[in-house]
Structure 1
Amino acid sequence: MAFPSDRVRLNVGGELFETTTTTLSVAGRDSMLGALIDSHWNRPPSSGANSAPEYFLDRNPACFSVLLDLLRSGELHLPPSLPERLLLREASFYGLLPLVRAARWGPLDGNRLRYSTSISGTAPGDGISISASPSGGCCVAHGPILHVYDWTFVEQPPITLDYQRINSAAFLDPSHILLTARGMALFSSSSSELLHRFHVRHENQLRSFTAGALSFNHTDSKIFASCKGRYNEYGIGVWDQNSGLQTDFFYELPDCPVGDSDSLQWLDSPKCLISATLFPKTEHCYIALLDFREKNVVWSWTDTVSDDKRVLDVVAMEDNHSVCVVNQYDDLGFLDLRMNGGGVRWSSRSKLTKVKGRRNVNEEELCYPRLASHGGQLFLAMNDTVSVFSGPEFVHTSTLRKSEGGAICDFSIGGDRLFALHSEENVFDVWETPPASSPML
């Protein structure tokens, strides 16, 4: 009887595995295993009439056993004796990293986030900011140096700005990082190679400028950055993501300090940009919704002289047409983007965000609170804790606290991970969401 044509033997590092082409096809045609069985790419090795074709792969058999089980069952089970980094290396060779990630982590949900690991940095000083990559990696700024980690937390060559302090860093996509300092530039996230310098033109002449906050409109391929220059280059510059050429500039208007913006956020629905200038850069917070088509401010808010609740961070909640702010008392406030000139609806969260049994944090270690939004949820980093708020009323639903690295000076969400950078010990924590149908590893 002839051997079934669907069956395949693989000799991996001297250990025999037998499977089917149907199972291997789960890897996808673009993977190494998919190409192995694709007649357009590879000719099967000769074999007898009663034997399955056999391939030899000089790789780790223990890792292959785990990956083959993933192709068969859709579940990832990692034995305690097998290092995860070794499995990720082998998965990369076979082209199975997307499948491993899908089985390892589900979509980010603040209420299901679980502590994964802590990474100690290599820079001599404390980190000042962290930015997540869409692929699950991140970068950490230390003065003039940016340390870059891929999604397996292997550190890539650092980016150095020759004694210029980094103002902001963000991933344009998994392969490219934008840095702002005295100017703005694009770098490779894997090699740290300088790829492009962004210029500002005023009256048909190139001008020097200092760039600050960053934001992106990926739908229309635009980059936004706050800018300050010697002449009239105060405002927000716009560049094309593909060509790198300047396409627009929103100049400062009276009582509209957008050139000093600490935070920029593009909103798809109104096709406008939120700009916020915050303490300590300015004495009073200024938040504006900018329409670049008409070059005007369509909504704005500033705190009053008598208001002792100083706004320290801002994030727009586009789904419910509001802007969330946080003050020095750990209170959350909400501004309605549909009401120009309206007041803040404050809601005290202090009692909710304090955790019983929490370690004492030295007053000198306290960092400014930080806000972020993701998937309709609101995230607040205060001292050494990240609190999650959910639902239309943003009820406190979860608390994240793990590392002993001191207060959280910055945090960032990207892909399927949340990164929290601590003010001490140069360490950042990684939080991930396990898939609902699979056991936690």
Structure 2
Amino acid sequence: MRNGGCCPKLDPLPGEEESAVRTSHWRKELERRRDSVERETDGSNMKTATRKKDGEKEVRAMAPLAPQLCSRLAQKAMMRSSVTKSMASRDRVRFNVGGQLFETTSTTLANAGRDSMLGALLDDSWNPGQPEYFLDRNPACFSVLLDLLRTGALHIPANVPQKLLYREALYYGLLDHVRNAKWGPFDGNRLRLADSVPGRAPGDGTAIRAAPDGGCCVAHGSVVHVYNWMLEERRPISLDYQQVNDVGYIDADSIVITARERLGRAEGGMAVFSAATGELQHRFRVEHGQQPKSFTAGALSLAGPDDNRIFSSCKGRLNEYGIGMWDLNTGQQGDFFYELPGCSLGDADILQWLPSKNCLMVATLFPRTDNCFIGLLDFRAKTIPWSWSDAGIVVTLEDKRVLHAIAMEDGHSICVINQYEDLGFIDLRAGTGTNSAGTGVRWSSRSKLMNRKVPFEESCYPKLATHNGQLFSCMNDSISVFSGSEHVLTSTLSRSYGGSICDFSIGGDRLFALHNEDNVFDVWETSPSPII
């Protein structure tokens, strides 16, 4: 409404008065908080100024000590640098070998082992301040050995003779490293011909045996030729014209030999000789009724690495026929198993200890006897709990004759081989007795597949061996390798000269084959595994 031409007073809109009150309240609250912030800021500035003044006073008070603090810091830095340089100097080693410089690290030298000459440099008494070591040795061989320590692989250049490298490795104490790297773990399917060593003795070889360290020995007549793992011939063992019947390794340092008794002299029997010097170490004796007897010792068998017994077939002048057992710790006779009717133990061709049966397998084979006999001897009960014979089965020369036998590693069966190179298996879990077990051979048909014929010229009898689950057989001039539970033919080892193989042996991750005609033995090795 209009009132006398003056502006009328308007009433506030609904809610406007309440909003104005809230706005006034917020304005006052903001002003209060601003004043509070300004007061706090003024107080903080005052405190900061105070702390700044106190800090300046401390700096002025510590100013005289500044040179000393700087000197201490510099000393610590120099010490850290010195320690770092000392550690680097100690880790790096320099050699002057025959005028050629080599640089390596203490980590590489540690691979040589503490017992080696190079490993001895890491001893506490070693002076790390020495700039380099001078060695008046062959630098080419040192380079090969240093690379062996770095990589674990052995690479021999064509211009480095192996015998020279072995000599240098012996000087540095690395001969075991070289041997372990030269060939790999034994595998019959990956063997390669590594070397052929001509013999020096006239006539045919009697036996060849592998040493645990990769060496071997060869028996010729009354002499045993011994070779180390580098195939260097050591001093031979001579028995003064006594015929060697069998030979074996007790360990890498000791060789046991069985020999024929000499007429008119109470000699023969069995003795242990040093593999390094050929010297007699111990002579085993047989006693009957507490009286020592002269005897001829034949086939040998060691009970095993964890068993200190040794067995040998024995033939005396009277009734001392059987199998003797001796203790390797005392060297004394521990037991004697006398022959029983129907089993010729004194003429046994093969002895083999079966740990799973706790019995000794004895095999007397053709042509030593007319009939083959295989039995298990229990020395505790003095009984033969199991036996097999071909008596009454073999009639003519064309019939299959067992010429060699070996117990399989599982201890459940015995593998045999005949003149046709047929493999046969006799189950030890089958019935016992010569009459009932005589027909228990399960022959394979391998001879028909190979189409082999009996040679008209003189040849060596076949031999068998087992190693790491594989079966090996040799006949004429080759060695066959069988693998798997079904004994499948997987490899054949042969060479073009040397004649028939009269014996072979496996040990030290090597296979040694002794040839009949050229008086030579072959060395077969497994190539080292490839790096990639």
TM-score bucket of the superposed structures, by smaller chain: over 0.9
| Residues 420 and 454 in structure 2, CA contact (< 8 A), matched pair in contact too | no
Rounded Cα–Cα distance in structure 2 between residues aligned with 1:398 and 1:351:
18
Q: 1:44 aligns with which of 91, 115, 126?
A: 126
> Partner of 2:103 in structure 1?
18
Q: 1:328 aligns with which of 398, 419, 434?
A: 419
Rounded Cα–Cα distance in structure 1 between residues aligned with 2:325 and 2:315:
14
Rounded Cα–Cα distance in structure 2 between residues aligned with 1:338 and 1:361:
32
Pairing of 1:51-66 with structure 2 (within 5 A):
53-66=131-144
Question: 1:57 Cα shift?
Answer: 2.3
Residue 309 of structure 1 pairs with residue 400 of structure 2:
yes
Rounded Cα–Cα distance in structure 2 between residues aligned with 1:248 and 1:28:
44
Amino acid of the structure 1 residue aligned with 2:405: V
> Partner of 1:29 in structure 2?
114
- Deviation readout 1:351-402 (Å, 9 max, x if unpaired): 55579xxxx9974341100111100110000100000001001010000001
Rounded Cα–Cα distance in structure 1 between residues aligned with 2:451 and 2:400:
19
Question: 1:142 Cα shift?
Answer: 1.0
Q: Which protein has the bigger strand share?
A: 1
Amino acid of the structure 2 residue aligned with 1:37: L
Pairing of 1:221-240 with structure 2 (within 5 A):
221-240=308-327
Q: 2:460 aligns with which of 362, 367, 371?
A: 367
Residue 294 of structure 1 pairs with residue 381 of structure 2:
yes
Rounded Cα–Cα distance in structure 1 between residues aligned with 2:153 and 2:110:
16
Instruction: Report the 3-state secondary structure (helix = DSSP H, G, I; strand = E; otherwise coil) of the residue aligned with 2:190.
Output: coil
Q: TM-score, normalised by structure 2?
A: 0.77
| Residues 357 and 411 in structure 2, CA contact (< 8 A), matched pair in contact too | no
Q: 2:511 aligns with which of 418, 423, 440?
A: 418
Amino acid of the structure 1 residue aligned with 2:153: E
Q: TM-score, normalised by structure 1?
A: 0.93
Rounded Cα–Cα distance in structure 2 between residues aligned with 1:177 and 1:87:
28
Gaps of 5+ in 1: none
- Whose radius of gyration is greater, 1 or 2? 2
Rounded Cα–Cα distance in structure 2 between residues aligned with 1:219 and 1:54:
48
| Residues 103 and 438 in structure 1, CA contact (< 8 A), matched pair in contact too | no
Instruction: Report the 3-state secondary structure (helix = DSSP H, G, I; strand = E; otherwise coil) of the residue aligned with 2:118.
Output: helix
| Residues 45 and 55 in structure 1, CA contact (< 8 A), matched pair in contact too | no
Q: 1:379 aligns with which of 472, 477, 480?
A: 472
Q: Which protein has the bigger helix share?
A: 2
Residue 244 of structure 1 pairs with residue 340 of structure 2:
no
Rounded Cα–Cα distance in structure 2 between residues aligned with 1:21 and 1:274:
54
Amino acid of the structure 1 residue aligned with 2:384: V
Instruction: Report the 3-state secondary structure (helix = DSSP H, G, I; strand = E; otherwise coil) of the residue aligned with 1:167.
Output: strand
> Partner of 1:347 in structure 2?
444
Rounded Cα–Cα distance in structure 1 between residues aligned with 2:99 and 2:450:
55
| Residues 216 and 228 in structure 2, CA contact (< 8 A), matched pair in contact too | yes
- Deviation readout 1:198-244 (Å, 9 max, x if unpaired): 00111011011100000111322111111111133211111111221
CA RMSD of aligned residues (A): 1.9
Residue 436 of structure 1 pairs with residue 436 of structure 2:
no
- Deviation readout 1:157-211 (Å, 9 max, x if unpaired): 1111111110001111111111101211111111110111100111011011100
Instruction: Report the 3-state secondary structure (helix = DSSP H, G, I; strand = E; otherwise coil) of the residue aligned with 1:93.
Output: helix
Q: 1:89 aligns with which of 155, 161, 167?
A: 167
Question: 1:256 Cα shift?
Answer: 2.2
Between 379-388 and 222-231, the greater mean CA deviation after superposition: 222-231
- Deviation readout 1:2-41 (Å, 9 max, x if unpaired): 24121111222222211111111111112222223222xx
Between 229-238 and 378-387, the greater mean CA deviation after superposition: 229-238
Question: 1:338 Cα shift?
Answer: 1.1
Residue 9 of structure 1 pairs with residue 94 of structure 2:
yes
> Partner of 2:299 in structure 1?
213
Rounded Cα–Cα distance in structure 1 between residues aligned with 2:411 and 2:114:
42
Q: 1:79 aligns with which of 157, 163, 185?
A: 157
Residue 409 of structure 1 pairs with residue 502 of structure 2:
yes
Amino acid of the structure 2 residue aligned with 1:304: A
Residue 272 of structure 1 pairs with residue 359 of structure 2:
yes
Question: 1:438 Cα shift?
Answer: 4.7
Amino acid of the structure 2 residue aligned with 1:411: F
Question: 1:68 Cα shift?
Answer: 0.6
